[in-house]
């Protein structure tokens, strides 16, 4: 039985946190697969016994140094990545939240190569993960096409 993220036996539950500060959004450049090198939002796996919203707050703090308050549930995204033989390499069910900063000091953590604040109109200038583009389009922040 595989308990790791790579070639899992069951889907893994994760969270994503779209952090909004006025007209800016915080994006992080991923250091690890899937989507290493692409820009995304802070997030990670829910721990056993942890509420998804608490995991979102914890992951935001761990990845960005920011204390956040959850203001909305944005939805659920399926992240399924298959290898060349069509085997499931990664399978995450990601619960996405909208949050706003309430304290802390923004800095990229070890699992992020970089972090920056961007306005919605600047998002197309960044190489975003496909699941982030899907989320941003669904909530009306990213242009269609």
**8, exposed or middle or buried, with CB in 10 Å at 0-12, 13-18, 19+?**
middle
Give the Cα-Cα-Cα angle 26, 30, 36 (nearest 5 degrees).
Answer: 150
The whole-angstrom separation of Cα 30 and Cα 112 is 5
Q: What is the reported pTM? A: 0.91
Tens-place pLDDT, residues 32-76 = 888 889 999 999 999 999 999 999 999 999 999 999 999 999 999
Tens-place pLDDT, residues 8-27 = 999 999 999 999 999 999 99
Buried b (16+ CB within 10 A) or exposed e, 39-76: bbbbbbebeeeeebbebbbbbbbebbbbebebeeebee
CATH number of 12-138, picked from 3.50.50.60, 3.90.79.10, 3.40.720.10, 2.30.40.10: 3.90.79.10
Q: Residue 145's pLDDT band (boundaries 50, 70, 90)?
A: low
Q: Domain ranges in the chain?
A: 12-138
The whole-angstrom separation of Cα 115 and Cα 42 is 9
């Amino acid at each position: 039985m595989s308990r790791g993220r790579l070639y899992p036996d069951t889907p893994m539950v994760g969270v994503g946190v779209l952090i909004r500060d006025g007209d800016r959004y915080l994006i992080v450049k991923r250091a690890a697969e899937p989507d290493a090198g692409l820009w995304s939002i802070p997030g990670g796996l829910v721990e056993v016994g942890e509420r998804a919203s608490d995991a979102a707050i914890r992951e935001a703090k761990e990845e960005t140094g920011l204390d956040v308050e959850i203001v909305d549930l944005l939805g659920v995204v399926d992240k399924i990545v298959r290898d060349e033989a069509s085997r499931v390499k990664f399978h995450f069910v990601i619960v996405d939240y909208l949050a706003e900063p309430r304290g802390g000091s923004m800095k990229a953590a070890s699992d992020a190569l970089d972090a920056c604040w961007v306005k919605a109109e600047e998002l197309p200038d960044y190489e975003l993960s496909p699941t982030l583009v899907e989320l941003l389009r669904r909530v009306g922040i990213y242009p269609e096409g």
